[in-house]
A and B are shown apart, each in its own frame.
Chain A
Amino acid sequence: MADSLLKVRNLEVSARGRKGREFSIVDNISFDVQKGEVIALIGESGSGKTTISLACLGYSRPGCHITGGSVLLDGISLLEQPLPKLQELRGKDITYVAQSAAASFNGAMTINDQVIEMPVITGSATRQDALSKATRLYKELELPDPENIGKRYPHQVSGGQLQRLMAAMAMISDPRLLILDEPTTALDVTTQIEVLHAFKTLIQNHNASAIYVTHDLSLVAQVADHILVLKDGKMVEYGATEQIISVPRNDYTRELMAATHLMPEEFHAPPLVTAQEPPLLDVRNVSAGYGPKHEFIALRGIDLTVKSGETVGVIGESGSGKTTLGRVISGLMNAAKGGVFLNGQRLANHVDRRSRDELRQIQFAFQMADVALNPRQRVNKILSRPIMFYHGLRRSEATREVARLLERVDLPSSFAWRFPPELSGGQRQRVNLARALAARPSLIICDEITSALDTIVAQQILDLLESLQDDLGLSYMFITHDIATVTRISDRIAVMRHGEIVAQGLVDEVLTQDCHEYTQLLLNSVPEMRTDWLDEAVTRRRKLIAALS
């Protein structure tokens, strides 16, 4: 192993808490990166994967420090270099692609100026040479109009393009090591594979080595040669990609595998057809838009029904209007045309004019539990308020009810006295659900409630939703961009695009071989656990896009 490019040995990083306590966040990590090889660091949030990747730049975030071990790049110990030497190495030999390109570009400079900044200020290339190299990279990354795209400003290109431009910025100085930190996580599912493909080709063409940080095992299987699985800052498993995905040795890796965003083998059994019972929720021909006169249309002629005890999945990319639909149903936004009917009764357009009982029946579970729960209210208050509000219970009775609710969502009842910031992401999402349950609703609108969670935690939340449905006969409207998740728990689905429903029906009816091109496009973006999937998917994607436009 003498010729490995990067050698990390026994790396240890710790952080200092507010009271000066030291706690270890990365513990005894060792791995090698060979020339031309991609190694993936995979784990849930808090597993230390970003910290490790930053340590490979010889950097630690404020509050953290590297307490032990070594990082050798071609024999140079990065942890012992003085800052000027490190700065020379960073940008030239090692480069970094951050998770959110939108936050990493300077909005006041053209893209070209930022991409070629590094070689020009270090004097390794003239402006002219750097520009022509940038154009070559744009072409390689399959960006539209490679000659001129660099003259635009960051806000004038799409998110997926910006992420690729950031890769161009990282590759401009021909680095020996490229560090990619969740480069596709913030992108729409269908764009994600395109960007991933561009990264893969780029790394192969330049024979660069890369460290790819992600939480998504199925995606990383497409690009990585080796995978390092992390949990709580410790190495869980390290091996070749084929081995990890086909014969994982560790229980945790198996758990991760089970929770990946793969298509389920078989769909939810369609519900028993009940007699002509009126649907619980009926959305009839609803159009809505933003602006004082609804001039920016977000929804066009939506028809949707949810029957009692049923789960309806609403799928679409960002901007498809799926969240707007949820807001119209819950009365947060006025519909311009059409109406929402609950048990055959027409609901008023706006929350203010709906009766308390109508409000009680439809509850809304928000996407981000950390902003959906007031950080200054104890869980007890968050949960007891809807109980007292809708059911008129006294405070002491409500407090007893809160304990039952917490038990129902598998949380200890002592959590009632905690504040939301003292809970983990998954626990907060459970409290978020418990708040919806507290009203004893008939329908819960779940707006992307699993998308901010780690895969394993998301799986637990989905299991919880199913068991609640079995016990309480709830209906769900499940809004998401993740077609794999939604097909796992839905009875029926609706696919939205540009504010319209392009397909809806029972899951197996919608997801057939010859379904709508857009549905195919979404299906095509669901990764499959084999290493040759990506190339096929990209080819199929281009055909579908051509057919759609």
Chain B
Amino acid sequence: MNIDNYTWRDELREAISDLTPGTALCVLFLVAVIVIGALAPVIAPYGEGEILTNNSFEPPSTMMWLGSDYLGRDVLSRLIYGVRITLFLALVITFLSFLAGVSLGFLAAAFGGWVDNWISRLNDAMLSFPALMLALIVINSLGSSLVVLVFTVAFIDMTRVFRVARALAVNVMVMDYVEAAVVRGEGKAWIVWHEVLPNVLTPLAAEFGIRFTYAILFVSALSFLGLGVQPPQSDLGVMVKENLQAILYGEYTTLYPAIGIALIAISMNVFVDWLLQRSSAELPDEI
């Protein structure tokens, strides 16, 4: 009986049928953005740093659909490359922060006692620093590079992920089925992997979405302040900053990346909300 295959497809089909029109739109947008980011070199009409005209802030034309930026580069092409690097950074950062945060959170929950106490109090200490200030200090002192940026933001995010992961795991650790595994003589690793993880996967996935959004905003904010992605590369945050003067000339150049950031963040949030709502609806509705 090939049961695994059957339920996977079944579940996916059911999930798609559960989508509301608004959520479906957001999911479509996210998929489109990811595809655009992945295929940027193929899709973008021009290169990232290619200077096409001597005029700054040219209005949209058939040659440059969204006009030119302050150096006369194609805004659309830079936007596509910007989406690529923004998504890539956010993904790597969120992935790293989850790897560290969830591991530590489960460790604290599984062992409890002084292990839990030490990890949690250290984490609380880290949490007490304002995130943006901490990032500014670290990046300023270590020098601005993509590696430093990724690890700094991932570390800061990890402290947030840790709290969520620990709280979720602690709730599961007190369930009778975990106790049953303890009486059987199972080790901590088995319990965490087979008993705890499957039960916290949905809320963690939702948290991943939220953290992903925050990572985009955070990196964009750092780039805007000049500490994130360095020229000639650019992410959406850099583009907002570069083209600020366009407002003076009555052009919308700086708004395109800003709208991009906003739309990605909102779509992600709507999708995550739907995910959470759906997983709570699956619980038995006994009163």
Determine the distance from Cα of A364 to Cα of B177 in the docked complex, in whole angstroms. 11
Determine the distance from Cα of A373 to Cα of B175 in the docked complex, in whole angstroms. 9
Tell me, yes or no, whether B185 is within 8 Å of chain A by CB. Answer: yes
Determine the distance from Cα of A453 to Cα of B116 in the docked complex, in whole angstroms. 37
A-side contacts of B21, CB under 8 Å: none
Please give the distance in Å from A432's CB to the nearest CB on chain B.
Answer: 9
Contact among B3, B186, B284 with A389 in the assembled complex (CB-CB below 8 Å)? B186
Tell me, yes or no, whether B176 is within 8 Å of chain A by CB. Answer: yes
Please give the distance in Å from B226's CB to the nearest CB on chain A.
Answer: 47
Contact among B1, B183, B198 with A377 in the assembled complex (CB-CB below 8 Å)? B198
Query: Residue on A with the closest CB to B201?
Result: A376
Tell me, yes or no, whether A138 is within 8 Å of chain B by CB. Answer: no
Tell me, yes or no, whether A18 is within 8 Å of chain B by CB. Answer: yes
A-B contact count (CB 8 A): 58
Q: Is the CB of B184 within 8 A of A372?
A: no
Q: Is the CB of B195 within 8 A of A366?
A: no
Q: Is the CB of B177 within 8 A of A373?
A: yes
Tell me, yes or no, whether A371 is within 8 Å of chain B by CB. Answer: yes
Q: Is the CB of A372 within 8 A of B3?
A: no
The 0/1 profile, CB within 8 Å of A marked 1, for residues 1-24 of chain B is 101000000000000000000000
Tell me, yes or no, whether A23 is within 8 Å of chain B by CB. Answer: no
Supposing A18-B281, A368-B176, A421-B284 touch, asked if A374 and B195 sit within 8 A by C-beta, the answer is: yes
Q: Is the CB of B186 within 8 A of A366?
A: no
Determine the distance from Cα of A446 to Cα of B182 in the docked complex, in whole angstroms. 17
Q: Residue among A374, A417, A421 with the most chain B CB within 10 A?
A: A374
A-side contacts of B198, CB under 8 Å: 374, 376-377
The 0/1 profile, CB within 8 Å of A marked 1, for residues 271-287 of chain B is 00000000001001101
Q: Is the CB of B183 within 8 A of A364?
A: yes
Tell me, yes or no, whether A351 is within 8 Å of chain B by CB. Answer: yes
Interface size of B in residues (CB-CB distance below 8 Å): 21
Tell me, yes or no, whether B50 is within 8 Å of chain A by CB. Answer: no
Determine the distance from Cα of A351 to Cα of B201 in the docked complex, in whole angstroms. 28
Determine the distance from Cα of A373 to Cα of B199 in the docked complex, in whole angstroms. 12
A-side contacts of B124, CB under 8 Å: none
Q: Is the CB of B180 within 8 A of A376?
A: no
Please give the distance in Å from A232's CB to the nearest CB on chain B.
Answer: 17
Supposing A375-B199, A376-B199, A377-B198 touch, asked if A389 and B184 sit within 8 A by C-beta, the answer is: yes
B-side contacts of A364, CB under 8 Å: 180, 183
For chain B, what secondary structure do more than half of its interface residues adopt (helix, strand, loop), or is it mixed? Answer: helix
Instruction: Report the interface size class on chain A.
Output: 20 to 34
Determine the distance from Cα of A336 to Cα of B176 in the docked complex, in whole angstroms. 24
Q: Is the CB of B3 within 8 A of A417?
A: yes
Q: Is the CB of A372 within 8 A of B180?
A: yes
Determine the distance from Cα of A61 to Cα of B287 in the docked complex, in whole angstroms. 9
Query: Residue on B with the closest CB to A358?
Result: B185
Q: Is the CB of B179 within 8 A of A332?
A: yes
Supposing A63-B285, A374-B198, A376-B199 touch, asked if A366 and B180 sit within 8 A by C-beta, the answer is: yes
Q: Residue among A63, A332, A354, A371 with the most chain B CB within 10 A?
A: A371
Query: Residue on A with the closest CB to B17?
Result: A19
B-side contacts of A390, CB under 8 Å: 184
Contacting A at CB under 8 A, from B169-204, are: 175-177, 179-180, 182-186, 194-195, 198-199, 201
The 0/1 profile, CB within 8 Å of A marked 1, for residues 224-255 of chain B is 00000000000000000000000000000000
Q: Is the CB of A372 within 8 A of B176?
A: yes
Tell me, yes or no, whether A435 is within 8 Å of chain B by CB. Answer: yes
Tell me, yes or no, whether A320 is within 8 Å of chain B by CB. Answer: no
Tell me, yes or no, whether A139 is within 8 Å of chain B by CB. Answer: no
B-side contacts of A381, CB under 8 Å: 194
Q: Is the CB of A371 within 8 A of B176?
A: yes
Determine the distance from Cα of A289 to Cα of B285 in the docked complex, in whole angstroms. 37
Beyond A331-B183, A374-B199, 8 extra complex contacts between A and B, CB < 8 Å: A332-B182, A351-B183, A359-B184, A371-B175, A374-B195, A375-B199, A385-B194, A417-B1
Q: Which 6 pairs show the lowest CB-CB distances between chains A and B?
A: A376-B198, A372-B176, A374-B177, A359-B185, A371-B176, A366-B176
For this complex, 18 residue pairs linking A to B, each with C-beta atoms less than 8 Å apart, are A351-B185, A354-B185, A359-B185, A364-B180, A364-B183, A367-B176, A368-B176, A372-B179, A373-B177, A374-B195, A375-B199, A376-B198, A376-B199, A377-B198, A385-B184, A389-B184, A417-B3, A439-B184
